Amino acid sequence: MSEPAVDTTALDRYECRVCGYVYEPDKGDDKHNIAPGTPFAELPITWRCPVCSAKSTAFTNIGGVGAASGFKENLGYGLGVNQLTPTQKNLLIFGGLVLAFLFFISLYGLQ
Ligand SMILES: [Zn+2]
């Protein structure tokens, strides 16, 4: 276990003990306009479970995504972004999505 100094706690997932919903920071919560990459700790105090409306205090930390999903590894392909912090990676992804969206809109504008 000699993982490099990546802040994995920022991407810990939290499970709702009431209904079993899992908050995944790399996905965010589009029901409540929580952007992808928002750590559970940075959710607004008013945030509630999107499934059963339990308070965030009803959630329990079930650990990061690194072990199970390989999400982080997939981000690093060929671009050297492995050295970026999770926040920087998420900015990169989110920025990419915005650019793709703008490109999509501009195609419509041409018609
Ligand atoms: Zn719930």
Ligand 1 center to 92 CA (angstroms): 30
Per residue in 62-100, is it b (16+ CB within 10 Å) or e — as a string? Answer: eebbeeeeeebeebeeeeeeeebebeebbeeeeeeeeee
Ligand 1 center to 53 CA (angstroms): 6
pLDDT values of the chain reduced to their tens digit, one per residue, 111 residues = 554 555 556 789 999 999 999 999 999 999 999 999 999 999 999 999 999 999 999 999 999 865 544 444 454 445 555 667 888 888 888 899 999 999 888 888 876
Asked whether the beta carbons of 60 and 12 are under 8 A apart, the reply is no
- Reduced to 3 states (helix: H, G, I; strand: E, B; else coil), residue 55 is strand
* Residues facing 14 on adjacent strands: 23, 61
State the pTM of this model. Answer: 0.52
Ligand 1 center to 64 CA (angstroms): 19
Residue 73 pLDDT: 47
Residue 90 pLDDT: 87
Residue 69 pLDDT: 46
Ligand 1 center to 76 CA (angstroms): 32
Cα dihedral sign, 5-25-80-92 = negative
Ligand 1 center to 59 CA (angstroms): 8
Ligand 1 center to 82 CA (angstroms): 33
